[in-house]
Amino acid sequence: MRAILLSFFAIGLVLVLTLTVTGRAQDITQDGAQLTISRCVDGTVATYIGTTCSQLPSVFTWTRYTCTSTPSSICDSLGANGEKIHMRMDGEGNHTILVSASDLWNVTAGQSIDVMIRGTVYGAITNVNWPHFYSPGHTGDGTEENKTTVYCAPTGNCVKLKGVSDILCDADSPDAYCNDQNKIDPYLSATAKFNRNTSDNPYRFTIEIKLNGGTNGTATIHSVGVHIAE
């Protein structure tokens, strides 16, 4: 009887150990290979550049940040390598990174800014932006545009919208593209889709945030929820 109990205990222990190891492996396995990849956490663009992180099944490598503005002091206010642009995990939306500079990139008439964050990604199949505003995204002839592109076209892997989620706020835009919304529904039509890829062939991606005050307007945005995931 004791031998039987010990046998059951041994089998149970093996099962527990197997499940534990398998569960751990599922968290870090991509394309059949076991990889140790840190989950994406709160930081800034500057702390992200040169790193790899996961919001499984998506795995991101962050490669470059650029900024051009008129006047140049607007880019300067965002800090070296975007150290004043926050990258936060969205507690309200799974697999969403909030890219935020609060009001530092807002512009008035005669001013403009173009922020670009570059990287590569694999494991994802959709791309959609969700902009957040504290005030209307534009006045007068000002414009605000947040555009995330997953470059699936060069390999013929785009399924919808050529991999681009583009939300433009100008005088002709839907109200939801310029004013804060409690739900993502108004932006779902801008959901791009593409075939899932592997770590051997990641897609390049860019996150671009552009504001232009025009000749008599303003442009603002608080943050952009970037969702490159399932």
Query: What tens digit of pLDDT does each residue of 79-111 get?
Result: 999 999 999 998 766 689 999 999 999 999 999
Neighbouring CB atoms inside 10 A of 101's CB total: 24
Range scoring the smallest mean pLDDT among 4-13, 59-68, 139-148: 4-13
- Which pLDDT does position 25 carry in this prediction? 28
| CA dist., res. 13 & res. 23, Å (int) | 15
Alpha carbon 132 to its chain centroid, in Å, reads 14
State the pLDDT confidence band at 14, using cuts at 50, 70 and 90.
Answer: very low
Domain edges within the chain: 1-36, 37-229
Check if the beta carbon of residue 44 is closer than 8 Å to that of residue 85: yes
| CA dist., res. 209 & res. 220, Å (int) | 11
- Which pLDDT does position 33 carry in this prediction? 56
The mean predicted confidence, pLDDT, of the chain is 87
| CA dist., res. 225 & res. 130, Å (int) | 5
The encoded tokens of residue 223 equal 């943050």
Instruction: State the pTM of this model.
Output: 0.85
- Which pLDDT does position 91 carry in this prediction? 75
| Strand, coil or helix: 210 | strand
- Which pLDDT does position 121 carry in this prediction? 98
- Structural element, H or E, at residue 116: strand 112-122
- Which pLDDT does position 32 carry in this prediction? 55
Phi-psi region of 102 (alpha: psi -120 to 50; beta: other; left: phi over 0): left
| CA dist., res. 122 & res. 117, Å (int) | 16
What is the average per-residue pLDDT within 216-228?
97
Return phi, psi of residue 190, to 5°: -95, 20
The encoded tokens of residue 109 equal 């008439």
State the pLDDT confidence band at 56, using cuts at 50, 70 and 90.
Answer: confident
Is the model's pLDDT at 20 over the cut of 80?
Answer: no
- Structural element, H or E, at residue 18: helix 2-28
What is the average per-residue pLDDT within 131-141?
97
Please list, residue by residue across 104-126, b when 16 or more beta carbons sit within 10 angstroms of its beta carbon and e when fewer do: ebbbbbebbbbbbbbbbbbbbbb
The encoded tokens of residue 38 equal 């840190």
- Which pLDDT does position 95 carry in this prediction? 87
* Burial class for 213, CB neighbours closer than 10 Å (0-12, 13-18, 19+): buried
